[in-house]
Amino acid sequence: MQQTFPIKDDELEALAKNAIDSVFSTMLNRSTTIQEVIKIDEDNHPEGIQLPVDASMPMIAGTVGFLGNLTGIIYIFMELPLAMEATCSLLDMEEHEIGTDDHELVNDAIGELTNMIVGTFKNDLSNKGYECRMTIPSILRGSNFSIEPAEVALRRIFKFDCGGRSFVIDVLMKEEN
């Protein structure tokens, strides 16, 4: 049975929005808007859910977990062209300087952006009294992602727009006793 979660939906949306706004405006000088919020319960999607992105589009996913009073994991799914734009902006480089095959640099940049986004999210949780520490970021590449968590109290998916390109953040959390 699903646990009652101590953070309300509007609070969680504000946390996600602040984390994204803060990192995108500070590090990339870009603004974002929320396009869609998907609430997922064990009952309505027991088999998992298809992410609200073009399944055929190549994606890069950064992920960082956190452990403490609240334990969870956050995924950032980004269309590859946006990931490339973000890397260029972050490192002050042109696309041709990076090269389409330089996965290592793009992976590292998206990993670091994910780290900052989850860090901001986690620091806001700390300010609300939930102390937790972060894990080291990891990166996945592919398309047609589907996350089927084993046991979470809460899962919310936020779809954002950044200058006409989409990205998604998938938040999975549970409260530790």
- What CA–CA distance (Å, rounded) separates 140 from 59? 8
| Contacts to other proteins from residues 56-95, by CB under 8 A | 87, 90-92
Q: Specify the DSSP element, H or E, that contains 147.
A: strand 146-147
For the CB of residue 111, give the shortest distance to other proteins in the complex, in Å: 7
Binding of other proteins at residue 126 (CB under 8 A)? yes
* Complex with other proteins: residue 86 or 154, whichever CB lies closer: 86
User: Alpha carbon of 11 to those of 5, 16, 18: distances in Å?
Assistant: 12, 9, 10
Nearer to other proteins, 52 or 119 (CB): 119
Told to check if 134 binds other proteins by CB under 8 A, we report yes
Task: Map the footprint of other proteins across residues 92-121, applying CB under 8 A.
Answer: 92, 104-105, 108-109, 111-112, 115-116, 118-120
Contact 164, 102 (CB under 8 A): no
Q: Does 37 bind other proteins (CB under 8 A)?
A: no
* Chain residues in the site for other proteins (CB under 8 A): 22-23, 26-27, 87, 90-92, 104-105, 108-109, 111-112, 115-116, 118-120, 122-123, 126, 131-136
